[in-house]
Structure 1
Amino acid sequence: MYATYSISILAGAIVLGATSPLCWAEQTINVTLHANSIELETHDVKAGRLTLYVKNAANNNMEHELVLLKTNLSDGALPVGKGQVLERKLKKIGEVEDIAPDKSKRASFNLAPGHYVLICNKPGHYAAGMHTALVVTP
């Protein structure tokens, strides 16, 4: 019986030890989409689960989206073609689609340490200034 108990504890320790710290940190930040910019509550977060509460506050009655990309490129230097960022050339983590004016949506992502860029990739919106950087630290 003692041997079984020790094996159970060891198995539990291995499972806990193998669990990434990404499961431990949970954060929420507010993101506000304006007519020509993206405003983040903070640009630095810890690795782990991040929930983005995204509000379209643009006063131009335009629908927006928020695309999360992991890249070492600066937020203003992404590859563009035909008025949109070429997402297929970058590591897309996810997105919050079709946010109507004065509406909000949320999405959660597990983020590893690194440099990320958030953009609105509706035609012409990136070029108009709808991009910002996010740094995820260990």
Structure 2
Amino acid sequence: MTPHRRRGVWSAIAVAAAALVLGIATTCLMAASGAFHRTGPASWRAHSTRCTAPAVKGSAVDVTVWDTGRMRRGPDWPAPNNGRPGWYGMGMMRLAAHPTTVPAGRVALRVVNAGALTHEVIVLPLSADQAAGERAIGSDGRVSEAGSVGEASRTCGSGVGEGIASGAAAWTTVTLRPGRYELLCNVPGHYAAGMYAELDVTR
């Protein structure tokens, strides 16, 4: 091997080693900051970093919303949810509720936004033949909110607002009759990207 080629090999090894060290350091920093925990499926157990919902008496449902922080819109992107037209979420978006079954009556919803984007939670009844995630999506990337029985979208507050900021909490209390309900985020594109969950209310 010529000296010139030997220098090239050592340069490539040095670059690869530097990239590896940088990747490990970045991963360690993210783990130390709790970034992985905040976007995990069990993050409903974590408290908001900005504010926390007040304690409640009776039934409560803890809801966590999260994302990878990337959204794009355009006709050239494939549509999620069985090819329905509209917005497309570039990256995972989820809404998780715990518990998923509560008794009828007053129910407190406590929402934590563990994602990078602004979110909200709307409560809509489900018909007998309807499943969560099957609502028609309009050209604006949203579903109809007709029949809504409640909403948590005020950063560090109760009820309707301008959306729940990243790292913040929101809450609301709703009165639910027995039946099936859908908890969803209706920020444009978020429902299509997977932000919905079913809540069952028993007698």
Q: What does 1:15-30 correspond to in 2, within 5 Å?
A: 26-30=58-62
Q: Distance in 2 between matches of 1:122 and 1:29?
A: 21
Which of the two has greater strand per residue?
1
Q: Is the 8 A contact 2:109 2:152 kept in 1?
A: no
Unaligned runs of 5+ in 2: 1-56, 68-92, 154-162
Deviation at 1:29, TM superposition (A): 1.7
- Is 1:31–1:39's contact at 8 Å kept on the other side of the alignment? yes
Which portions of structure 1, spanning 4 or more consecutive aligned residues, are displaced by more than 6 angstroms? Answer: none
Identity of matched residues, %: 36
- Larger of the two Rg values belongs to structure: 2
One-letter amino acid of the counterpart of residue 145, structure 2: E
Whose relative contact order is higher, 1 or 2, with alpha carbons under 8 Å and at least 6 apart?
1
Residue 84 of structure 1 is matched in structure 2 by 142
How many residue pairs get aligned? The number is 110
Q: What 5-or-longer segments of structure 1 have no aligned partner?
A: 1-24
For 1:104, the equivalent position in structure 2 comes to 169
- Post-superposition Cα deviations, 1:26-66, rounded to whole Å, max 9, x if no partner, equal 301211001111111111110011001100001xx210000
> What residue in structure 1 maps to residue 201 of structure 2?
136
TM-score normalised by structure 1 residue count: 0.76
After TM superposition, the structure 1 = structure 2 runs for residues 43-82 of structure 1, keeping only pairs within 5 Å, are 43-58=100-115, 61-72=116-127, 73-82=130-139
Q: Hey, which of these two has a bigger chunk of helix by percent?
A: 2
Q: TM-score, normalising length from structure 2?
A: 0.52
Taking only aligned residues, the RMSD between alpha carbons, in angstroms, comes to 1.2
Equivalent residue letter for 2:148: K
